[in-house]
C-alpha cells in the first residue's frame, strides 16, 4: 500500500533504497532486468508507485515503482511517460497499469 509522499523522484529513490529496494530495474521488452536478474510479469509484485511531473513540462512525467520478486528481491523501476517513454509490451504494461489502479 502506498503510504509515503515525496516531493522529488530522487527523494523517493533514496528513501526506497533505505527501505531495502536496492536493485535498479530496467525494462527489457516484456520483462524487467537488473544485472543477472530477469523478471517476467508473473515473477514480481508492485508494492508502491509514485508519479512525478517534469519541472518545465507537465507532460514529462516519470513513475517510480517499488518492486519485490516472488523470491524476495527488492528494487525500483523508473519509467518515463511521453516522448521518452520506454517501449513496454504485452503483459508488462498490463502488470504495471494494473498495479497503479489497485494500490
Structure-model confidence comparison of residues 98 and 20, the more confident one: 20
Q: How many residues does the chain have?
A: 103
What is the spatial distance between Cα 12 and Cα 5, in angstroms, rounded to a whole number?
8
- CA distance readout (Å), 76 to 12, 18, 58, 65, 88: 10, 12, 22, 5, 16
pLDDT in tens, 65-75: 999 999 999 99
Helix (H) or strand (E) holding 17: helix 9-18
- CA distance readout (Å), 11 to 22, 77, 85, 96: 14, 14, 21, 21
Residue 83 binned pLDDT confidence (cut-offs 50, 70, 90) = very low
pTM of the model: 0.82
Tell me what pLDDT residue 55 has: 65
Tell me what pLDDT residue 29 has: 81
pLDDT in tens, 9-60: 999 999 999 999 999 999 888 889 999 999 999 999 999 999 887 666 655 6
Domain boundaries along the sequence of the chain:
9-102
Amino acid at each position: 500500500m502506498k503510504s509515503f509522499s515525496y516531493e522529488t523522484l530522487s527523494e523517493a529513490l533514496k528513501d526506497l533504497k533505505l527501505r531495502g529496494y536496492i536493485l535498479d530495474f530496467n525494462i527489457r521488452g516484456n520483462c524487467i532486468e537488473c544485472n543477472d536478474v530477469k523478471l517476467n510479469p508473473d515473477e514480481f509484485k508492485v508494492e508502491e508507485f509514485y508519479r512525478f511531473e517534469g519541472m518545465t513540462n507537465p507532460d514529462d512525467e516519470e513513475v517510480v515503482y517499488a518492486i519485490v520478486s516472488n523470491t524476495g528481491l527488492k528494487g525500483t523501476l523508473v519509467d518515463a511517460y511521453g516522448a521518452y517513454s520506454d517501449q513496454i509490451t504485452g503483459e508488462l504494461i498490463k502488470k504495471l497499469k494494473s498495479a497503479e489502479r489497485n494500490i
